[in-house]
Amino acid sequence: MWTGALYALNALLNLGLALALAWVLPASSYGAFTLYFATSLLVSHVSFDWIRSSAMRFYTPLARAKEPALRATLDLSMAYSAGASVGLALLMAAFGLLPEASPLALSALVAVTAANAAYEYWTALCRARFDVRRYAV
C-alpha cells in the first residue's frame, strides 16, 4: 500500500516539476531540457535498471543474512554501471546525438543520471527488505 502511494506521489511531483519548468522556460530551452531528460532516462534504463531489478529480486532478508557478499556485488555492479553510463554519454557526444551538448552539459547529464540511479537502487533495496519506514523517507 505504501509503495503504491509513494510511487503515485513521486509521479505527481515529477509532473508538477515538469509543468513548472514549462511555465518558466522559453520553448527552445524547455525542448532542450526534455531532450536531455529523455536521454538521461535512456542512459539510466540501459545502464542501471538491471541492478535495481536484481536488488528487488535477490536482496531479500533471507539472502541478506545468508549471503552478505551479495550486497557488495550489487554495490560493485552499481559502480561499474556508472562507468558504463559515462562511456555511453561519451559515445552519444562523439556521434553528435545530443545537439549543442557542451562537456558541462554532458557531465551534468551523467551526474543527474547516476544520482537518480543511486536513489532508485537504494529504494529497491528498501523494498526488497520490506523496510517501509526507510522507503518512505
pLDDT in tens, 67-123: 888 888 888 888 888 887 777 777 777 777 766 667 677 777 777 777 878 888 888
H helical segments located in the chain: 2-24, 27-47, 49-58, 61-66, 69-94, 103-128, 132-136
Q: Return the residue matching grid coordinates 523496510.
A: 131
Q: How far apart are CA 25 and CA 16, in angstroms?
A: 14
Grid cell of 92 as nine digits: 552519444
Quick one: average pLDDT of 3-10?
74
* DSSP secondary structure code for residue 25 in this structure: S
Q: How far apart are CA 99 and CA 15, in angstroms?
A: 25
Quick one: average pLDDT of 54-64?
79
What was the pLDDT predicted at 88?
A: 74
Check if the beta carbon of residue 89 is closer than 8 Å to that of residue 110.
Answer: yes
pTM here is: 0.63
Task: Label residue 1 by pLDDT band (50, 70, 90).
Answer: low
65 C-beta neighbours (distance < 10 Å), count: 8
What was the pLDDT predicted at 58?
A: 79
Closest of 117, 136, 111, 42 to residue 74, by C-alpha: 117
What was the pLDDT predicted at 135?
A: 61
